[in-house]
Structure formats: structure tokens, C-alpha cells
A = this chain, B = another copy of it.
Amino acid sequence: MKPRFAVRWRDLDQLGHVNSVVFLTYLEEGRTTWLGGLLGPQFETNQYVIARVELDYLAEIPSGTEFVETQHEIAAVGRSSVTLDETLSIVGGDIVARGRVVLVMWEPDHHRSRPLSNHELTALNQQLVR
């Protein structure tokens, strides 16, 4: 199941397409939904921060686009980090961006990274694509 999101009018900029920065908000949103499905309801949206992002923009998301969807695959699991390969697509259409993101698990109350829990390690390693 790919997370799927409605494009908002506010997501577009003066160029009449979705602003490039908003692509990352879609991926953030999809990633958190996807990770919650993988790691269970105890995984809340404040459990990680971004350490690195790289994204290739392949096409515009033009005015009038209704829905986009994201796809996420685990590329690597570290001690406190997870690397994901991600794509963003127009629903019923093409892939518009493809990239990779490195997450670091986070203790929100202490503003510092934390190691992956055993539960998280097990669940993530089961999904390793290669």
C-alpha cells in the first residue's frame, strides 16, 4: 500500500506547479505513514530527524494534479540510522522525483539521537530490500 495525498492549492507556487520544497513534505508525510505501518502504533511521528536527503526532480507536478503517492524501501539499517530509497509519483501517472534519505532515531525530550530499539531493528531488517 502506497501512502497517497491530496495536492493543495497552497502547495503550488508562482510557476504554476508544486513548489520543489513541498515534494519533501509529501515524502515526509508518506514516510511517517509508512514507518508507522511497519513499526506499529508506538512509533510516533516525532521519533526521527533527517540527517541527509538527496532528491532528483524528474517532472513537474502541474496545476490541476489531484493526488500524489510515495513509495519507500529500506536500503540500509545502522545502529541509530535508517536509509530509505523513496519515490514520489502522481497517482495514475509518472514518477516525478526519486531520492534517498537518511533518518536518525531521536529522543524528542532530550533533542539527541538514540539507537534503534530491538523491536525497530527486527522490523526494519525484515524489510531490507537487498
- Interface assignment of A21: CB less than 8 Å from any CB of chain B: yes
Q: Which of B12, B14, B25, B54 contacts A63 (CB 8 A)?
A: B14
How many A residues face the partner with a CB closer than 8 A?
37
> Using a CB-CB cutoff of 8 Å, which residues 26-80 of chain A contact chain B?
28-29, 32, 45-46, 49-57, 60, 62-63
- Complex: A5 Cα to B28 Cα, angstroms: 17
Interface residues of A: mostly helix, strand, loop or mixed? mixed
B residues in contact with A62, CB < 8 Å: 111
| A–B Cβ pairs within 8 angstroms, 16 of them | A9-B29, A9-B45, A10-B13, A10-B19, A13-B14, A15-B46, A15-B108, A16-B111, A17-B111, A20-B24, A20-B28, A51-B57, A53-B53, A53-B54, A53-B57, A62-B111
Per CB-CB distance, the 6 closest pairs between chain A and chain B, nearest first, are: A54-B54, A20-B50, A21-B24, A52-B56, A9-B45, A12-B14
Interface residues of A (CB under 8 A from B): 5-6, 8-10, 12-17, 19-22, 24-25, 28-29, 32, 45-46, 49-57, 60, 62-63, 106, 108, 111
